[in-house]
Amino acid sequence: MIDEGYIKFNSQLHQTPPPSEWVVEEVNTWRDRMYALDYIGAYEGDIGYGNISVKSDLLDNEFIVTGSGTGNIPILFADHFTRVSSYSIDDNSVVCEGRIDASSESMTHAAVYACAPEARAVIHIHSRRHWDALLNKIPTTSDSAAYGTPDMAREIKRLFEETNFPEIRVMAMAGHDEGILSYGTSLDDAGGRLLDVLEGRYP
Ligand SMILES: [Zn+2]
């Protein structure tokens, strides 16, 4: 079942200019690699999957994330990014600024940033092959937690508290078909670790 591409939280979008070019360029270096590997892309019916976010050192509760429904777009431009300026996991709500709603998985990204103050980047990909191989072998969220929900956000918190997720920094989502997520202190860190785990170089 494809459970992807629609926003499950209450999203409030303020129409503002998109994030600056350098952010776009930085994210696209990894986004292009993920897209080329089909880790970000689209299912039949043009339903996009996969998303990336980055957070600056200066802004505590803000991050910039690829927009909703952009997984199927080969090359992203500034208008495809949005800034999440505040969020509430308990209220299941996200406030964002840009030209496009935040990725449907923004709540999940927010939960990672909330649990790991050192995190500066989150990458969420889909891969049938790697998901099958890694499920329950690396930190794995409950199969009852669907993507983009407060349940998933709470599961992330549980992984931080009860598993070696803070060490391995890659996890699988049992309740989100093909879903895998990594984080790091930079995009290179998050992307490098993700590829290391997928390709069996770590742990
Ligand atoms: Zn997903």
| CB contact at 8 A, 2 and 43 | yes
CA of 177 to the centre of ligand 1 (A): 8
Domain count, the chain: 1
CA of 150 to the centre of ligand 1 (A): 15
Does pTM surpass 0.85? yes
CA distance 110 to 63: 8
> What confidence score (pLDDT) does residue 4 get?
67
Greater model confidence, 113 or 16: 113
Q: Which domain holds residue 142?
A: 10-198
CA distance 97 to 193: 30
pLDDT above 90: residue 30: yes
> What confidence score (pLDDT) does residue 46 get?
84
CA of 68 to the centre of ligand 1 (A): 11
Residue 25 domain-assigned (yes or no): yes
Average pLDDT over residues 64-78: 92
Both structure tokens of 52: 């990336």
- pLDDT-derived band at 60, boundaries 50, 70, 90: confident
Amino acid at the residue 159: L
Cα 155 to chain centroid distance, Å, stands at: 14
CA distance 91 to 110: 13
Above pLDDT 70, what percent of the chain? 97
pLDDT tens for residues 123-143?
999 999 999 999 999 999 999
CA of 135 to the centre of ligand 1 (A): 15
CA of 59 to the centre of ligand 1 (A): 25
For the CA atoms of 80, 145, 191, 165, the dihedral, rounded to the nearest 10 degrees, stands at: 150
Domain CATH for 130? 3.40.225.10
